Amino acid sequence: MTLPTTASGHKGLQLEQGLIFEQDTPGMTAVDLPSLPTSKQRLGDMNRNGPIGLPGLSEPEVVRHYTRLSQKNYSIDSGFYPLGSCTMKHNPRLNEKMARLPGFAEIHPFQPVSTAQGAMELIDTCARWLTELTGMAAVAMSPAAGAHGEFCGLMCIHAAHDANGQSQRKVIIVPESAHGTNPATAALCGYTVESIPANAEGRVDIADLRAKLKEHGDTVAAVMITNPNTCGLFERECIEIADAVHAAGAYFYMDGANFNAIVGRLRIADLGVDAMHINLHKTFSTPHGGGGPGAGPTVLSAKLAPFAPVPMVVKAGEGYVSEEHAGYGTAKQALGRMKGYHGQFGVFVRALSYMMSMGVDGLKQASGDAVLNANYLMARLSAELTPAFAGPCMHECVFDDRFLKGTGVTTLDIAKALIDEGFHPPTMYFPLVVHGALLIEPTETESKQALDQFVTSLLSLARKAKEGRAAEFQAAPQLSPRRRLDETKAARRPILRWTPSATDGAKQAAE
Amino acid sequence: MRYLPLSEANRRDMLAQIGVASVDELFRDLPKKALAAAQFDLPRTMSEIEVERALGVMAAKNMNCATSAAFLGCGNYRHHTPASADYLIQRGEFLTAYTPYQPEISQGTLQAIFEFQTQVALITGMEIANASMYDGATACAEAVAMACRVTKRSHALVSGRVHPHYHDVAKTQMKFLDVNVECLAPDPYGVEDLIGRVSPDLACVVVQTPGFFGQLSDYTALGEACHKAGVLLVACVTEPVSLGLVKSPGAMGADIVVGEGQSLAGPMTFGGPGVGLFATREKFLRQMPGRLCGETTDEDGRRGWVLTLSTREQHIRREKATSNICTNSGLIALAFSVHMTLLGEAGFTRLAELNHATACDLADKLEGVKGVKLLPSAFFNEFTLALPKPAAGVVEALAKKGVLGGVPVSRFYPTYPELANLLVVCATETNSAEDQVKLVKALNEVLS
Ligand SMILES: Cc1ncc(COP(=O)(O)O)c(C=O)c1O
């Protein structure tokens, strides 16, 4: 069956939609405002001269515009989203409702703290959940996302070494399998990065690590390890790693992006961790919103806690105060401020709403189901795909592309074919240590039925590839709002914004 | 537990297919010692209604700006958000999508980013903008870092009219990088000399428009002086609504414009999450931090959008990346963009005019309060008052009368006793005439 071409360019429910700039009715607005009070202007001579160039649309046009755009997106609400390392779990709408309570949404960061005691309590309660779940001494709540939390942790480590007269420590040891933010963050602290390879079973080789620690001696500031790691495996020798790191006078940073696998089962303090960020937008169900916002509270050991950035909520008698200045009071040794205001407060509300809903028992069940789902996928998919490492895996499983050898089909092709099957592809080509990696993270909020449908599709694609039907893959996806996009073209001659001339052609084509 | 779909029968069946007897067996790589030590003093699962009740009690302990007369600014602003904006950003297809890594099924997010980038570039008067940073303060720090990369210099000068959180964050972020972030003393009276300090060893001069204390200043001459010395002018905007009425930073010669988009995006939510705006000139494109969305075509020749130029970013460049940012502020950027689209040129201008007129009206009234002096300067929608006594106490007293009357400067500068009597007051379209009367009356009572 070939699809009919339509005069409109629409295809049934797939509706094409131009840019807002192509829908301009000059002078139109979707916002009516009350009339101006009569008062003398006090702008000096700072008036803008000339128009800005924003298009004018009415409310129905705007609602339709964004509704149509939304329909071009895949989302967790609409389907299975097994994007490894991203923990795309269900985002409860209760969280959204709670964040919109006027007592949370309509409060200003600089209203007197005496009038924001509920906000202080919320931050403190959220902090208590996080320190209790990790067993750590303190938590810096202000980091805005995982990478920002890494920055917070490494800066605390830097500050602690400086305070101990260990400023020569400038090296961070990071496994090759690490997420890109780890080395990028190390560089932001003025550190150099030394990589260690993964061993054949996908883990840090403690002998390698010991050798690296010895080689760099008293210049090692910290070792940064993701656990469970990006291969979906728990670093079994984690405690030995921590001991070796500490014996070398360095700190142990754990990337907590994968905390969802272990939450409610063990406390990372018992693993010897000095600092770890927690992506609230992964483990604690706050929505990813097409790119953010997130929050990356960073739990700290007693040795690092004094250096935590401001602001911090401090219990004072019956209520709370907000310590907002480094160098004073409880923030005497604080490294400074990392973010405006009080951190990602709206994300804290959502995360707390989730934690309270789950309870400690629900969180343990969730990590259990997340790991069960991943192992189930690994077991079933191994019928045709080649797992990169032996299980059991944690909350995600990784396959390499050996199963595609000689087929002419690549990991990318498989991913694009999955789009036609109605699934969001897994994370591709990450971790870098696995050739042609497909990193699959189902999360605990998928039913067995949803997993089985995915298995059926992916196994059938693997068989198709092995049957020599490569051409079908190279054409995929065919059923999505767009087919493969030319990324080389986008990068070679970047068009990063609308300009009247650049889109004249498109406008004519639409007419 | 309502969020977990597996039944006990499912679990048994799945364990059997995996070939293990229990879920615990799947966790066998976890150290036994740590498993045994695990204890959590935390509550158990709660129903939806119980969570609502508990959080409702906490929320009710806050005095909220919707039900009191509130005149608070200093980087966070209360504006009216059209009902359709909050509805649209809550569509699950936007709310529950990840970063658009698979462009074929993410065209909605991508097109919205492309439109956002265009809107930000237009209002700031710049050529290009990125897909967002965490917030205005971190965007400012990134601008300083970028200016150092572009100029290969390592000294930034920050005006005393820049939001203190912005310079604090820039200072913290550069702490371990041998970059000197020199912050000038707070400048409520607009007396600092920036042009005289411009020298060829500077990477950038950072200013804010409108300034932290509300002042409007023209930085055109400063921009010229900077450019003569090869220095970049970085301009912060904490109240983007001002750009509907006031000369844009681009028009004054700024090289990088950063800002906080919260004021147009939605509720204040105690200051976060916001959305960092980041715009610059095309010639600095390769040194920009953050994600960028670009136009291209698909295999059928249809126009579409992708994330592009990612060789600047951490997932490709690792320790050589321009920034470590990954997750940004996508949904808040969308909220900003939807509101801007609803406003359009006419609505945006009108909103800015209404803000300015309301603030002028309030200033007129407050100038009539005995002992209160308005610091001389042009302003947009906030201004600074000198009170006859410390502002922190006045604000507490006003709060007891149901009025959130402004932000005391001492909250940011506790070590400057000479600023203790200064109060920054903001008025937006959300402040009714009755609110203003309430403030004036309460202030008269508190000061008498
Ligand atoms: C392993 C790992 N570390 C760090 C990060 C960075 O987190 P964020 O995107 O919240 O900055 C991610 C997520 O993208 C990750 O998967």
- A444-494 confidence digits (pLDDT tens): 999 999 999 999 999 999 999 999 999 999 999 999 999 999 999 999 999
Instruction: For residue B406, give how far its alpha carbon lies from the nearest alpha carbon of chain A (Å).
Output: 8
Mutation target to probe the B interface, by most B beta carbons within 10 A, among A77, A88, A108 is: A108
Residue pair A225/A254 in contact (Cβ under 8 Å)? The answer is yes
Q: Enter the tokens of residue A114.
A: 């005496």
Contacts of A509 (CB under 8 A, 6+ apart): none
Q: Let me know: does A172 contact A358? Beta carbons within 8 Å.
A: no
Tell me the HSE value of A202 on the side-chain side, using a 13 A CA sphere.
28
Q: Would an 8 Å CB–CB cutoff place A307 in contact with chain B?
A: no
B317 and B393 inside one domain: no
Per-residue pLDDT of B320-342, as tens digits, reads: 889 999 999 999 999 999 999 99
Q: Residue A1: its pLDDT value, please?
A: 66
pLDDT at A504 over 60: no
Report pLDDT for A39.
86
pLDDT band at residue A511 under the 50/70/90 scheme: very low
Cβ contact (<8 Å) for B138 and A181?
no
Distance CA A248, CA A239 (A): 14
Interface of B with A in 372-391 (CB under 8 A): 377-380
Same domain, B321 and B244: yes
Query: Among residues B289, B304, B339, which one ends one of the domains?
Result: B339
Question: What mean pLDDT do residues A30-54 have?
Answer: 93
User: What does the DSSP 8-state code read for residue A8?
Assistant: S
* Residue A227 clears pLDDT 50, i.e. is over it: yes
**How many domains does chain B fold into?**
2
CA distance A387 to A381: 8
Q: Which protein residue's CA is at the shortest distance from atom 15 of ligand 1?
A: A257
A227 in contact with ligand 1, CB cutoff 6 A: no
Name the DSSP class of A371: H
Q: Which of A28, A38, A155 sits opposite B346 (nearest CB)?
A: A28
Contact in structure between A299 and A131 (CB atoms under 8 Å) = yes
Exposure letters A205-227 (e unless 16+ CB within 10 A, then b): bbeebbebbeebeebbbbbbbbb
How far is residue B410 from each of residues A201, A473, B186, B424, measured CA to CA in Å? 57, 64, 11, 10
Query: Are B295 and B439 in the same domain?
Result: no
CB-nearest partner of B270 from A119, A485, A506: A119
Q: State whether residue B112 is helix, strand or coil.
A: helix
Of the options 2.60.40.1180, 3.40.640.10, 3.40.50.970, 2.130.10.10, the CATH number for the domain spanning A95-355: 3.40.640.10
Give residue A87 CA to ligand 1 midpoint distance, Å. 10
- At residue A242, what are phi and psi to the nearest 5 degrees? -60, -45
Domain span holding position B131: 83-339
Distance CA B21, CA A345 (A): 42
Where does the pLDDT of residue B316 fall: very low under 50, low under 70, confident under 90, or very high at 90 and above? Answer: confident
Q: Using CB atoms, which residue from B56, B119, B306 is nearest to A487?
A: B306
Tokens matching residue B387: 């009170």
- Which residues lie closer than 8 Å to A312 by C-beta, 6 or more apart? A140, A141, A322, A323, A330, A331, A334
Distance (Å, whole) CA A204 – CA A176? 9
| Token pair listed for B356 | 């300015």
What tokens does A433 get?
Answer: 């240590």
A-contacting residues in B 7-66 (Cβ below 8 Å): 10-11, 13-15, 17-20, 23, 25-31, 33-35, 37-46, 48, 50-52, 54-66
User: Is residue A507 over pLDDT 60?
Assistant: no
Please check whether residues B330 and B410 belong to one and the same domain. Answer: no
Right CATH number for A360-485 from 3.90.1150.10, 3.20.20.70, 3.90.1310.10, 3.40.50.2300?
3.90.1150.10
Contacts of B28 in chain A (CB under 8 A): 392
Residue B309 covered by a domain: yes
The stretch A251-256 carries a mean pLDDT of: 98
CA distance A127 to A123: 6
Q: Judge: B52–A46 Cβ closer than 8 Å, yes or no.
A: no
* Alpha-carbon gap: A264 to the closest alpha carbon of chain B (Å): 8
| β-bridge mates for residue B257, sequence order | B235, B279
Helix-helix angle B330-366:B107-124, to 10 degrees: 30
Mean pLDDT of A154-182: 97
Residue of B105, B107, B241, B297 for testing the chain A interface, max A β-carbons within 10 Å = B105
pLDDT higher than threshold 80 for residue B376: yes
List the structure tokens of A213.
Answer: 């620690």
Query: Which atom, in ligand 1's list, is nearest to the CA of B325?
Result: 11
Residue B352 and residue B297 share a domain = no
Q: Both B297 and B436 in a single domain?
A: no
Q: Residue A264: CB partners within 8 Å, gap ≥ 6?
A: A133, A360, A361, A363, A364, A365, A366, A367, B40
Q: Ligand 1 centroid to A147 CA: how many Å?
A: 6
Say yes or no: CB of residue A295 within 6 Å of ligand 1. no
The rounded Cα A213 to chain-centroid distance in angstroms is: 30
The total number of residues written for chain A in this structure: 511
| Cβ B324 under 6 angstroms from ligand 1 | no
Tokens of A80: 């299975």
> Domain ends where: B287, B310, B339?
B339
Give the residue extent of every domain in chain A.
95-355, 360-485
> Nearest 5°: phi and psi at A243?
-60, -45
Average pLDDT of the residues in B183-211? 97
Using a 6 Å cutoff on CB, does residue A149 contact ligand 1?
Answer: no
